[in-house]
Structure 1
Amino acid sequence: MKNPPIHLTFIKGANIKMRLLYSNILPLRLEEGQQSFIEYFNEAAASCDCLDIAVGYVSKASLVELQKIVEDCGISHVCLNIGMYYLEGMPEGTYHAAVLLNESWKRAGVGEVRIVKAFKYHGKLYTFYKNGCPVAGIVGSNNLGAIKLEATNLRQYEISTVTEIPEEIEEISKIISKLKEPTCSTNIQEIKVPLVREINSALVDQEFVTKITSDEVAAYRRNVTDLSFEIPLKVPVNHEDPMMRGSNINVCYASGRKRVWWEIEMVVSKEIRDLPGYPEHQVPFMAVTDDGWKFKAWTCGQNNKNLYSKDDLKIMGRWVKGRLVASGLVDPVNQVEADSAFKGLITEEILEKYGRKSITLTKTEMKTVDEDGTEMEVWMLSFLPNTDAEEVTS
């Protein structure tokens, strides 16, 4: 039997009540007369013109879904206040999605995303308004991720209470309003939120690539030398800039031979490769990355201009672009030839948001041995944002 529709209390004297909102998970399926959180939220959003939310945690998918709901329902004002990340650290993909949402809402003049800074706020409060009056409120265990179920929370059972009693809604509304005050929270782009770097899953289970521990990375770092080269990533300024659109790390967009999105060409300038100590032409070395990956690399091409991963050209691309994907700033493109809008193009704007525009190649004092017994030098490749020394890392 289909659950009955909600009845928001817009009319004075209408039937008012408080009731529970459930998850719908076996073996606790919804029973007759019960309603799920996600169903109530969507129907309430469609019936209101203003929305205030204060939760502990969010997900990238739920932020995208919230933006869609706000746009589809024509909500004129919205504020999302997030409570746990300032002191715990925020997953980088979720952070960049929240910043993008904040930019979109502020540009449209409809609202903002805020971060609680005074303490760890773990509550979950939602208030829906119509014509300036709060008409429904939710309090319970549902974080924002409940509006867009995915693998991580699909089997997570939550219970919340929804009220349409004016006095109770007003109380919820007052708490959310206090959380929005400057003494409690700040706009997400006006505060430095510590980030938790997410694993570059583009390199997981790839042939010729080994994952190493943070202790191993630290050991290599302790043995770096003063011989280091800073290699700029040459990219367009933005998506409208035609310069560098089909070269270097965006070579997949070049005309001619079709390349997959992950394939890149690290072209190093003559000024850098002519410096003393730069890796010799076609002499393999072991590259250890600052985020814990290990693979063979070498310099090759005409005049030694290219820096490549040796066994598979896509490995270097999966490391560089994989970091940007993990940060939530770009999505992989399966069919580059169909990407006429250049959504997968890496630009200076993306690199600026990421926090790094170059790759550092640094020689270590350590050596390793290839499968055939050949001794190889070990070099470190660095592409984590420059602020990571102050951030939380996973």
Structure 2
Amino acid sequence: MKEKLLYSSTWPLLFDEEDKTIESCFIKELKKSDRLEIAVGFFSHNALEELDRLVIQQNIKNISLILGMHYFIGFPNNNLLELALRINEKWQRSGIGEIRITYAFRYHGKLYCFLKNNEIHSAILGSPNLSFLPLKTSSLQKCKQCEISLLLKNSETLKEIRNHMNALKADSFSKNITSFMKNNVFLTFETDQQKLKRHLKSNSQIFN
């Protein structure tokens, strides 16, 4: 098998075959690996916590997470930034990896690379950011946003992907997340939902 389409199990577009879902395929490929390299635009709090848990559980020897958008638009809240800093410190202290931030350009790709004995054996390309973990077991918890990905195993394609990831990890394109903290580069921003809540709260105070 060289390629395989993967889907998020989104109501009402549900998939009974586990090997067709992005989440299940990610876990399956991770279990075959001792190294993981990820490049995405964004991440969620729950997904990063789950990734850290899986790295420990599966005894991953090296993990590299590259975040492509936060240098330019900041973080939606301090909790997300603090989590990234905490896990980066944990991985560095354990000598297994780091979290890097691209600063040379906005990177909005979604790439998950699985390696064993320093050889890349598979990759998942597109479309979800690091937000699809943990696995969802209840129909009430199904992902609300439909995503589609491609599992790649073609050796020539994987070679190109490995070169792409190595380029992203170069200091001329990205640096460890702590490198940007000295100058307070990261600003938190309000999401539309947060702005709406603040607006409604201020209006309620006016009429009370």
- The reply to whether TM is greater than 0.5 is yes
CA offset at residue 45 of structure 1? 1.0
CA offset at residue 148 of structure 1? 2.8
- Which of 8, 25, 49 is 2:10 aligned to? 25
Alignment: residue pair count:
193
Q: Which residue does the alignment assign to 1:184?
A: 173
| 1:166 partner letter | S
The answer to whether the 8 Å contact 2:9/2:142 transfers is no
Q: Using the alignment, how far apart are the partners of 2:18 and 2:67 within structure 1?
A: 32
- Which of 68, 82, 85 is 1:96 aligned to? 82
The answer to whether the 8 Å contact 2:44/2:131 transfers is yes
CA offset at residue 176 of structure 1? 1.2
The answer to whether the 8 Å contact 2:30/2:114 transfers is yes
Taking a change above 3 Å as real, the CA distance of residues 173 and 35 of structure 1, as seen in their structure-2 partners, is same
Could you say what the CA RMSD is over the residues aligned between the two structures, in angstroms? 2.7
Q: Which residue does the alignment assign to 1:164?
A: 153
The answer to whether the 8 Å contact 2:9/2:143 transfers is no
Segments of structure 2 that go 5 or more residues without pairing to the other structure are: none
Q: Which residue does the alignment assign to 1:80?
A: 65
Q: Using the alignment, how far apart are the partners of 2:142 and 2:103 within structure 1?
A: 26
The answer to whether the 8 Å contact 2:114/2:122 transfers is yes
Q: Which residue does the alignment assign to 1:212?
A: 202
The answer to whether the 8 Å contact 1:48/1:129 transfers is yes
Structure with a larger share of its residues in helix: 2
The answer to whether the 8 Å contact 1:128/1:134 transfers is yes
Q: Which residue does the alignment assign to 1:55?
A: 40
Q: Deviations over 1:260-319 (max 9, x none)?
A: xxxxxxxxxxxxxxxxxxxxxxxxxxxxxxxxxx8xxxxxxxxxxxxxxxxxxxxxxxxx
| 2:186 partner letter | P
Q: Using the alignment, how far apart are the partners of 2:4 and 2:168 within structure 1?
A: 25
Q: Does 1:135 align with 2:125?
A: no
The answer to whether the 8 Å contact 1:90/1:194 transfers is yes
The SS at the match of 2:42 is coil
Taking a change above 3 Å as real, the CA distance of residues 106 and 34 of structure 1, as seen in their structure-2 partners, is closer
The answer to whether the 8 Å contact 1:55/1:124 transfers is yes
| 2:96 partner letter | V
Q: Does 1:106 align with 2:96?
A: no
| 1:194 partner letter | F
| 1:87 partner letter | F
The answer to whether the 8 Å contact 2:66/2:99 transfers is yes
CA offset at residue 44 of structure 1? 1.1
Q: Does 1:194 align with 2:189?
A: no
Q: TM-score, normalised by structure 1?
A: 0.45
The answer to whether the 8 Å contact 2:24/2:135 transfers is no
The answer to whether the 8 Å contact 1:93/1:198 transfers is no
CA offset at residue 19 of structure 1? 0.9
The runs of 4+ residues in structure 1 deviating greater than 6 Å are 149-153
| 2:68 partner letter | G
Q: Which residue does the alignment assign to 1:36?
A: 21
Q: Using the alignment, how far apart are the partners of 1:17 and 1:25 within structure 2?
A: 25
| 2:95 partner letter | G
The answer to whether the 8 Å contact 1:22/1:34 transfers is no
The SS at the match of 1:161 is strand
Higher relative contact order (CA 8 A, sep 6+): 2
The SS at the match of 2:131 is helix
Q: Which residue does the alignment assign to 2:108?
A: 122
The answer to whether the 8 Å contact 1:126/1:138 transfers is yes
Q: Deviations over 1:132-188 (max 9, x none)?
A: 110001111111101236899821100010111111111112111111101110100
Q: Does 1:175 align with 2:175?
A: no
CA offset at residue 32 of structure 1? 5.1
Q: Using the alignment, how far apart are the partners of 1:154 and 1:142 within structure 2?
A: 11
The answer to whether the 8 Å contact 2:43/2:129 transfers is yes
Segments of structure 1 that go 5 or more residues without pairing to the other structure are: 1-15, 205-209, 214-293, 295-370, 372-394
